[in-house]
Structure 1
Amino acid sequence: MVKAVSFTLLSLATAISAVAALDPVGQFKRLGACPTLGCVFPPDNAEFLAGAHFDVRVEIHAENDAKPNTDYSLTIEKLKGTHKDNKNGPKAVDFSKWSKVKPNAQESWDFTYNKDAAAYWKFMDGDKNASTNVHVASTAWRHVQINEPGTYKVVLKYNNGKKTEAIWTVNPVQKRKAKNVILFIGDGMTTAMITAARLISKPHTSGKYTKHMHMDQFPVLGHIMTHSLDSLITDSANSASAYNTGHKSSAGALGVYPDSSINPFDDPKQELIAELLRRRSKKNGGAGGVGIVTTAEVQDATPAAVYAHTRNRDEKATIVDQMIHGANPVVADVILGGGGKYFHSKTGGKSLNGTDYYAAYSKERGYKVVNDRDALLNYKGKDPLLGVFHSTHMDVWMDRNVYKQNLKKNPTDPTGNGQSALNQPNLDEMVLKGLEVLDKRHRKEGWFMMAEAASVDKMMHPLDYDRALADLLELDNTIGKTKEWLKRNKLDKDTLILVTADHAHSFDVYGSVDTQYFNSFSDSEEEEKKNSVGTYENSGWPSYVDANGDGFPDNWDVRYTLAAGTAGFPSHREDFQININGTRVPAVISTTSHHHYEVYETNPVSDPHGINKGATMSAHEQVGVHSLQDVPIFASGPGANLFAGIQDNTEIFHKIAEVLGLGN
């Protein structure tokens, strides 16, 4: 019996390896996950949940003067596991016949791409002939389902005998383990950032902490690999999409595999956790609730990944419309964050077709709309709740709570009245109010909430480390208050809590800085200024103290700070001190560059007395960039053990789906 099983697995592995191909090397590509002239989406090595809906698209490419051959076919067969079974079992059959889905009419279009760095930068500098032309013939199948678990081989035959083959794995539906799931995302958060946040906020004696962060106390810890479909480094859109769909994607994409068409909304879609939860079978508890909380715009990449489908994360006006008007829209029970300018057409407004979406959400879907902290906290009803508190991204914790004068600089009110948004809630207030509403609306069926501390990432980009760490601490405090709320409301044993990041930044701490000594030297004495950085035995403890026990340093403008930095940054100056007057702007557009594209140079106003740090990447980049690091995931509650160890970001979807009993 054991030998038979081993033979089956070995045969299946052999069959799969014969099809699978390594990702092509190089920085530029014609189309993500399409190394040949024949493309299949979903691509090779895709993984599905049994019963989940998805779209399929094939593309045939021809470059320059060639034309694509429109005579192509797509077949599918289920692999049985042994050579004997494959020989006598079902043969490959036409995909349309097998799926019982009629394909859309064949389409055609053209696009261009750059083959390598030389072509790309020539194109950026105005040479339109540097790009390669591609002509496309394509067919799409919409709303496909595979209900039977197993391994499938899909074959595209084109150009008189050429083949593109893909192996698809379909996972079975599992018995439900929890009623509720909260997915906390510290956007861009890494282990090094958590370590630094702990250092500046928790007391320690003889090198040992006497108090720990809330996420430190979770019983299960794992790590997540964050590569995108076609690149080493991911962005928030496709990384958050991996959590919500179980599929890889490309930069900027939400809930789709990016195709090469012009339309950013016709790309092949994958069903989202929230969509699956809305149509969950009665035997598994019925349709559940959905909550979205963020300190970014509610249309920003990470929150939009919960409910939107588009190749372009910047289509924010349409993303607002998708929530209530899309095909089978999610219509979340709770939506809280920023992004007011996409809800109205008043001063500064950018809503789709000038629509008043505050009114549309209220009249068409019954939302209670609130636009400031007082209105949020005073809401006691059970109608779906839309809270938008800023015209763009909400201000960071540091400016909302410490340097409040920075809130008065711009007309940021979410309603377009030209005033400043001076009364914004904190993350914990939004999360707890969101939980109240979800509990009132879906205590019996259960719910899923995604809550994001967005500006950990948004402050790491401009190298404003203090503001980034403050938002990380806000996330940790919110986690603690959430656990207390769940216990108080007798939901703690029914709720899985996950804390993770969607991607990394290359931040780390390498010592401490005596800023008093640093500031004692003139701007030209950079070598002496660098002597203020203490490493190894001289990396003494920083001056931050949390005497009132609120989880944050009582004073951010201290003498001894952290010597910290990232690996990928633009030219800038560094003085290792808090930016009291607002978010750091490390680099500005050069006025002397001869290039047709924007080139950035050191901002002469930001940190004027700091040391000079030359860029480690293209001068076309204005701020720091994401990095390759695995990100941590903390888990507590029913099903937490599933998240231990090293895992791909797509596995998070499948594990959440298992915990919530999603699928057929």
Structure 2
Amino acid sequence: MHIKSFGPAVVLGVFLAGAASAATLQDTGNDGDNWQRARAELDRRMAVDVRPQQARNVILFIADGMSIPTISAARIYGGEQAGDGETHTLSFEAFPSTALVRTYNTDAQVADSASTATALVTGHKTRSGAISVRADQFLDACAPGADLPPTLVELAERRGLATGIVSTARLTHATPATLYAHSLIRSWEADSDMRPEGVAAGCVDIAAQLLAFDEGDGIELALGGGRARFLPEAEGGVRADGRNLIAEWQANDRVAVTDAAGFRALDPAAGAPVLGLFSDSHMAYEADRSEADEPSLAEMTAFAIDRLSRNEDGYVLMVEAGRVDHAHHATNAYRALTDMQAFDAAIAAALERVDLDETLIVVTADHGHTMTFSGYPGRGNPILGLVRRANPYEPGTEPQLTLDETGRPYTTLGYQNGPNVRAHEGEPLDEETVMAPDYLQETAVELSNETHSGADVALYATGPRAHWFGGSIEQNTVFHLISAALGWPRDEDETAVE
């Protein structure tokens, strides 16, 4: 059946046709539920407890590539699993404060993870590909004593706070690297990745910078992937300098683990710093984790909080769902949404462990993606499925498959660009094909990989001074808001914000 869009005049005409027609179009028993949900939301909003006190701890959750359509689709996907469909909410959607964050950088309307994460953790916008250096810094940034922008982790360590980094990506990948490293080029993850001019200028690869990090008493915890960047070629790694950075880490009375069993045997009450490297490259997608010997993002988050909260001066923790981005680049919405469920579970695990009177939690993305959510699917239609639209002329009937102008079905989720261009010949899509975990959503513009989006991303905040996060803000303002919530001086020679 070829369903066309219904114009407003047509729908209005149905309502004007009389009481009988109007009665056939009313919501079938859900209006009271919708009203009560809205009233409950009103009650929650009116009862929001503003916490004006200084934060003791901060947890920054970043879902790499979490566009607003990703949040909407993940909510519905979670609702399909939980049985409450479109009325489902993700854990962070209950946070009282929200903002829209502008993600452009100094040289691009559509930015990459290195520059956007740098904005979040240093307060400086920079150029694409740069890791925690200013936009006007190049090889001079590698010189001894270079004036590099300090990161949240560096500033926290200087003040005696405990610090931790958790990611499902490589620990040397763009987002986690911005917290402890300063690099002109994000791809300089190991010495074998570096350009000769960088080596000649004294630049140090990102993995080696993690090992050499010496602010305060050092990072207490770093958990993620990327083991090969820490090992020499002779031991299955990619380092050309022959260094085994894992062994060097352990030689300094620090603990390293490389599998889930070793991780789960750790005691969070133990004082030694922990390095967890659970895969040679990125950790597995959540959908594939059962086949890998890796802890979940929620497990790593829970351990990190239990470990860091032992510091009486507080802590700063960053948790990244790094592979939402990778699934989007492949136009594989299934893995993007399942990794979003893992991200949501990690936030829920954090909420069970922290006191929101002293812990500020900020949830956001570094940038978005081009995934679209459209097509007029009816309520209850599978978010990964083909579009089936309810017919307003016949309430209660089964939604009908919607076809494009060539008579072919299409999915609710798609991408503006990427590898799987929509075809107008061959076998039409069917439900079994599009619901499969490995299905790649169709795209409009053919590229080898889908790109980021330049659209604003969402931010959610709860805890002390969360009410400062709101409206439309620059991405680097997030760093300044977090710093102010912790009571840090706006500059080293200024007094703390009251």
The 8 Å contact of residues 186 and 452 in structure 1, kept in 2 or not, is answered as yes
Q: Secondary structure at the match of 1:316?
A: coil
Match of 1:276 among 155, 160, 165: 155
> What are the superposed Cα offsets for residues 243-291 of structure 1, whole Å, 9 maximum, x if unpaired?
11111101110110245755773575211111111222xxxxxx10111
How far the C-alpha of 1:351 sits from its partner, in A, is: 2.9
Alpha-carbon distance change, 210 to 573 in structure 1, aligned in 2, over 3 angstroms: closer
The structure with the largest strand share of the pair is 1
How far residue 324 of structure 1 moved from its aligned partner, in angstroms, is: 3.0
Q: Is the 8 A contact 1:255 1:270 kept in 2?
A: yes
One-letter code aligned to 1:639? R
Q: Which residue of 1 aligns with 2:104?
A: 227
Report the counterpart of residue 166 of structure 2 in structure 1: 293
- TM-fit CA distance, 1:389: 0.3
**Map of 1:471-620 to 2, 5 A cutoff?**
471-486=339-354, 491-511=355-375, 533-534=387-388, 537=391, 562-570=411-419, 572=421, 575=429, 577-580=434-437, 615=445
Partner of 1:257: 134
User: Which of 323, 338, 343 is matched with 1:455 structurally?
Assistant: 323
1:331 deviation in Å? 2.8
Of the three residues 285, 306, 318, the one matched with 1:436 is 306
Contact 2:64 2:322 in 1 (8 A): yes
CA distance 1:339–1:352, shift in 2 (3 Å): same
Kept in 2, the 8 Å contact 1:342–1:352? The answer is no
1:533 Cα deviation (Å)?
Answer: 3.7
The residue aligned with 1:392 is: 281
Please list every run of 5 or more consecutive structure 2 residues that lacks an aligned counterpart in the other structure.
1-51, 191-204, 379-384, 401-408, 424-428, 493-498
Normalised by the length of structure 1, the TM-score is 0.55
Which residues in structure 2 correspond to 1:58-73 (within 5 Å)? none
DSSP-derived class of the 1:353 partner: coil
The counterpart of 2:337, out of the listed 469, 473, 490, is 469
Q: 1:383 to 1:541 in 2, by over 3 A?
A: farther
8 A contact 2:356–2:464 mirrored in 1: no
Rate the CA distance shift 1:352–1:248 in 2: closer, same or farther, 3 A: farther
Q: Quick one: distance in 1 between partners of 2:476 and 2:241?
A: 35
In the alignment, the residues of structure 1 paired with residue 317 and residue 449 of structure 2 have an alpha-carbon distance, to the nearest angstrom, of 31
State the secondary structure of the residue aligned to 1:568: strand
Q: List 4+ stretches of structure 1 deviating above 6 A.
A: 204-208, 538-542
Could you tell me which amino acid in structure 1 is paired with residue 275 of structure 2?
Answer: L
* 1:186/1:261 CA distance change after superposition, 3 Å: closer
C-alpha distance in structure 1 between counterparts of 2:386 and 2:94, whole Å:
35
The answer to whether the 8 Å contact 1:323/1:330 transfers is no
Contact 1:396/1:467 (8 A) holds in 2: yes
CA displacement, residues 188-225 of structure 1 (integer Å, 9 cap, x when unaligned)? 10221111111122169999855422111111111100
Give 1:363's aligned amino acid: A
* Contact 1:295–1:454, Cα closer than 8 Å, also in 2: yes
CA contact (8 A) 1:292 1:451 kept: yes
Which 5+ residue runs of structure 1 have no aligned equivalent?
1-174, 281-286, 405-421, 515-530, 543-559, 585-606
Give the secondary structure class of the aligned counterpart of 1:655.
helix
Q: Which amino acid aligns with 2:367?
A: H
Listed one character per residue, the Cα deviations across residues 231-254 of structure 1 (whole Å, up to 9, x for unaligned) are: 101100010000111111011101
Q: How far apart are the structure 2 equivalents of 1:194 and 1:315?
A: 31
More helix by share: 2
TM-score (norm 2): 0.72
What fraction of aligned residue pairs are identical, expressed as a percent? 30
CA distance in 1, matches of 2:220, 2:128: 28
Structure 1 equivalent of residue 256 of structure 2: 369
SS at match of 2:434: coil
CA 1:439–1:534: 2 relative to 1, 3 Å: same
Quote how far apart the aligned CAs of 1:326 are: 5.0
| Pair 1:208–1:655, CA change in 2 (3 A) | same
2:403 matched residue in structure 1 = none
Output one character per residue of 1:468-492: Cα deviation in whole Å (capped at 9) or x when no partner. 0110111111111210122xxxx33
Return the letter of the residue paired with 2:338. Answer: A
**1:662: Cα distance to partner?**
2.2
Contact 1:323 1:329 in 2 (8 A): no
**Structure 1 312/535 Cα, relative in aligned 2: closer, same or farther at 3 Å?**
farther
- 2: distance between equivalents of 1:540 and 1:565? 24
Whole-angstrom CA distance in 2 between matches of 1:340 and 1:471: 21
Please name the residue that 2:189 is paired with. 316
Deviations 1:89-115 (A, max 9, x none): xxxxxxxxxxxxxxxxxxxxxxxxxxx
Letter of the 1:534 counterpart: R
In structure 2, the partner of 1:126 is none
1:400 & 1:268 partners in 2: Cα distance?
A: 41
Looking at CA atoms only, which structure, 1 or 2, has the larger radius of gyration?
Answer: 1
Following the alignment from structure 1 to structure 2, what is the Cα–Cα distance between the partners of residues 468 and 188? 9
Note closer, same or farther for the CA distance 1:258–1:329 as it changes in structure 2 (3 Å cut). farther
Q: CA deviation at 1:572?
A: 3.6
